[in-house]
């Protein structure tokens, strides 16, 4: 009898780690720890690792049961069902005020799909690839035989029926965490879409969750005129912040402000906080829709193809890499070193290395490496200097933390303050080449804040536009406690707990990482 946990992942996010302290918070989704075998490992500040997790139900699957696949699919459907206002209230929906232009008669012919609107029963597949075996690169299988298992999730978009009277709605928008290209684009599209529905009372909550409880901060009235051109600049019109906040205080503020829809832009920690806010609103039986838009430049939100800001970050990183390349190739025995963002996920470093074609060594958090020794990074740099005369290294900020002194210091969001791997490698390179009597000219570039603050590029601007629109559609459809994202090339709604169980990480056995290794030509540094 074989047993396996059905979904791959890592540890759970603790909301207190990200500045939220729920009062009386209760849910079948637990933030504090996750069971690994017969023991519990606390996952505050946890990083990516290849382990398995389960959801609320029995974590084991008995593959000797002929009905295991049906049972799994039913459990999957239950987990990915979306919380709705009708779970608590008996609300009669009304005809949507979001008018879509259509040709011909309003009558729908038998068998015809009306264009524009999404049916509540519309689904898209979470995964479409069936792997031949678990040994196939990038395979993520439910069972040892990699059987085809249908995993359907809810499609995003405007519905024909809505659960709010637009003229009576007060909508709030808040941007949390750090800066990310595209924040203003999302804010703009949320306001535009609300305006088309007929919502006139729209406010921005300044400086993240702080704006809910800091009495010195006032709401920012928003309208189409106010946000018309904010997408032309980077940053956030509403400001951002990190730090502690009480879920109870936030919901008190939501209740006092009479907010009906709250749109929250942020990453994993912000989503954990949003879920706590959603649960507290349900506990108090408040008719409030809490809808998230995933914002992380690191592209580390589970289940999603990509998050907004990522494409812009990769594109802007090319400037830093190209500068390092020019510096390295213009110097005698030049070595260019670039540190890019990525606390626990190396997507920016990997994609930037692939797209530039100028990187000789790419180091990411998910793949361990040694600097010293016969197979270490420094020895490989020696060979590159001998054969090419120069080298360019790209390292993610979270890579190689085991090589640095550990610290218990945390930032305002509760994240462990990382050691500076870029400076560490820079000094190690200088010391190593000096020790072997070989000249090396090391140029170190850290473009972190320059990348975060710029305007979204065309690809991200389109993604932000659609995410912002679909966030509003989701709220009017009566959903709450959800996030909107691009999954398997389709825009979908997902329950927040399913995307915050861990950061999404680069799979070292994935096709993309293998492509990166082929591009750089680097060996295993172990």
Binding-site residues, in ranges, read 178, 242-243, 267-270, 296-298, 341-343, 397, 449-452
Tell me which of 260, 298, 360, 460 is the catalytic residue.
298
Tokens for 506? 């680069």
Q: Largest Cα–Cα distance of the chain, in whole Å?
A: 83
SS3 428: helix
Question: In angstroms, rounded to a whole number, what is the distance separating the alpha carbons of residues 333 and 265?
Answer: 45
Work out the number of other CB atoms within 10 angstroms of the CB of residue 57. 15
Binding-site residue ranges for Mg(2+): 268
Beta carbons within 8 Å of 256's beta carbon, 6+ residues apart? none
User: b/e per residue, 283-312, with b = 16+ CB within 10 A?
Assistant: beebebbbbbbbbbbbbbbbbbebbbbbbb
Give whole-number Cα distances, 305 to 301, 404, 441, in Å.
9, 32, 39
Work out the number of other CB atoms within 10 angstroms of the CB of residue 21. 15
SS3 297: coil
Residue 485 forms beta bridges with which residues? Answer: 492
User: Using an 8 Å Cβ cutoff, are 490 and 124 in contact?
Assistant: yes
Binding-site residue ranges for ATP: 178, 242-243, 267-270
Question: In angstroms, rounded to a whole number, what is the distance separating the alpha carbons of residues 315 and 52?
Answer: 33
- Is residue 298 part of the annotated active site? The answer reads yes
Tokens for 152? 């359907």
Question: In angstroms, rounded to a whole number, what is the distance separating the alpha carbons of residues 369 and 425?
Answer: 12
Residues marked active site are found at 298
């Amino acid at each position: 009898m074989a047993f396996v946990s059905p979904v791959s992942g890592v540890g759970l996010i603790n909301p207190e780690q990200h500045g939220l302290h729920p009062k009386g918070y209760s849910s079948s989704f637990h933030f504090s720890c996750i069971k690994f075998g017969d023991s519990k490992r606390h996952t505050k500040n946890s990083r990516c690792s290849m382990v398995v997790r389960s959801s609320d139900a029995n974590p084991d699957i008995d593959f000797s049961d002929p009905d295991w696949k049906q049972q799994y699919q039913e459990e999957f459907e239950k987990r990915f069902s979306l919380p709705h206002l009708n779970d608590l209230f008996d609300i009669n929906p009304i005809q949507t005020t979001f008018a879509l232009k259509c040709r011909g008669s309003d009558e729908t012919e038998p068998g015809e799909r009306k264009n524009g609107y999404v049916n509540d029963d519309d689904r898209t597949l979470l995964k479409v690839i069936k792997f031949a075996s678990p040994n196939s690169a990038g395979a993520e299988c439910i069972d040892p035989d990699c059987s085809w298992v249908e995993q359907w999730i809810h499609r995003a978009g405007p519905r024909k029926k809505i659960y709010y009277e637009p003229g009576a709605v007060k909508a709030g928008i808040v941007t949390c965490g750090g800066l990310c290209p595209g924040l203003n684009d999302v804010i703009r599209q949320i306001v535009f879409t609300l305006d088309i529905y007929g919502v006139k009372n729209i406010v921005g909550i300044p400086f993240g969750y702080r704006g809910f409880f800091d009495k010195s901060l006032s709401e920012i009235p928003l309208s189409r005129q106010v946000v018309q051109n904010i997408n032309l600049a980077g940053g956030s019109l509403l400001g951002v912040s990190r730090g502690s906040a009480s879920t109870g205080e936030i919901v008190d503020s939501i209740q006092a402000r009479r907010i009906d829809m709250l749109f929250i832009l942020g990453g994993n920690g912000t989503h954990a906080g949003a879920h706590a806010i959603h649960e507290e609103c349900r506990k108090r039986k408040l008719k409030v829709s809490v809808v998230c838009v995933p914002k992380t430049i690191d592209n580390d939100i589970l289940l999603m193809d990509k998050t907004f800001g990522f494409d812009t970050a990769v594109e802007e990183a090319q400037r830093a890499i190209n500068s390092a390349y020019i510096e390295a190739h213009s110097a005698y025995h030049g070595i260019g070193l670039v540190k890019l963002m990525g606390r626990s996920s190396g997507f920016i470093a990997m994609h930037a290395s692939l797209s530039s074609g100028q990187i000789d060594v790419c180091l990411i958090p998910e793949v361990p490496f040694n600097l010293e020794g016969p197979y270490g990074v420094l020895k490989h740099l020696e060979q590159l200097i001998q054969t090419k005369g120069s080298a360019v290294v790209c390292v993610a900020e979270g890579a190689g933390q085991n090589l640095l002194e550990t610290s218990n210091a945390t930032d305002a969001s509760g994240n462990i303050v990382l050691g500076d791997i870029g400076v560490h490698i820079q000094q190690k390179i200088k010391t190593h080449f000096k020790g072997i009597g070989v000249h090396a000219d090391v140029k170190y570039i850290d473009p972190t804040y320059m990348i975060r603050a710029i305007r979204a590029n065309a690809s991200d601007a389109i993604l932000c536009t659609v995410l912002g629109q679909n966030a509003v559609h989701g709220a009017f459809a009566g959903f709450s406690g959800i996030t909107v994202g691009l999954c398997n090339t389709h825009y979908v709604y997902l329950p927040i707990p399913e995307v915050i169980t861990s950061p999404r990480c680069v799979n070292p056995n994935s096709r993309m990482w293998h492509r990166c290794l082929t591009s750089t030509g680097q060996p295993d540094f172990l």
